[in-house]
Amino acid sequence: MIASIKEWIIFIIVGAFIINIVDMILPDSKVKPYINLVCNFIFVFMIISPLVSVFSNNMSLEDTILKKMNEYSKLYVDSYNDLANKTNNESLSKGYEDGLKAVLQLKLDEYGYELDDLKMNGSEIETIKIKEKNSNNDNKKDIQSNDTEKEEEVFKSSSELNLKEGKIKEDLIKVLNISIGDIEID
């Protein structure tokens, strides 16, 4: 923690130094105030960007928003379902499930996957099954390639696939607060 604060302070000092050098080098003209304004915006962004990452727990802004939307929707549906149970009305669990599927599809589109199945128990997620969008690409192989080329393609695609699957599982765990055992990838 102290090391990251030290790096942040050094980053700010170096940024301030560079902005002052740019200010001294620029000749006095009508454009200089605009360039200074842009440099100041960059400097403010340099100061604020580490603070944003501290508050987002090393998650991208999109993932943080998706997580907050999911948590809010879950609380809303739970409170509405409690009210519906007390008044004998229908619950919103289907609406929550549809909204959750839409949020999941946004996240899965980034990785080239699609939602295959989602099993829920009330507002809790039991299992998520996802699959690759274009799973029939394996059928389109080059007939003239030799065995070593095929082995290299299989090795390369399987290692890339493992990295992609690990990243998507990690993101889904962060966004949805579920365990890794609840995610199945075909």
Tens-level pLDDT at each residue, the chain (186 residues): 577 788 888 888 998 998 888 888 888 888 888 888 888 888 888 888 777 766 666 666 667 777 777 787 777 777 777 777 777 655 555 667 777 787 778 778 888 888 888 887 766 788 888 888 775 544 444 445 555 555 555 554 566 667 777 787 887 777 777 777 778 887
Q: Are strands 113-121 and 183-185 parallel, antiparallel or unpaired?
A: unpaired
DSSP conformation letters of 133-163: TTGGGGG---TT--HHHHHHHHHHHHHHHHH
pTM: 0.47
d(CA 131, CA 112): 9
The 3-class SS string of 20-69 reads HHHHHHCCCCCCHHHHHHHHHHHHHHHHHHHHHHHHCCCCCHHHHHHHHH
Integer angstrom CA distances of residue 156 from 137, 143, 159, 162, 165: 15, 19, 5, 10, 14
Cα 94 to Cα 77: distance, rounded to the nearest angstrom:
10
pLDDT in tens, 117-127: 888 776 678 88
SS3 130: strand
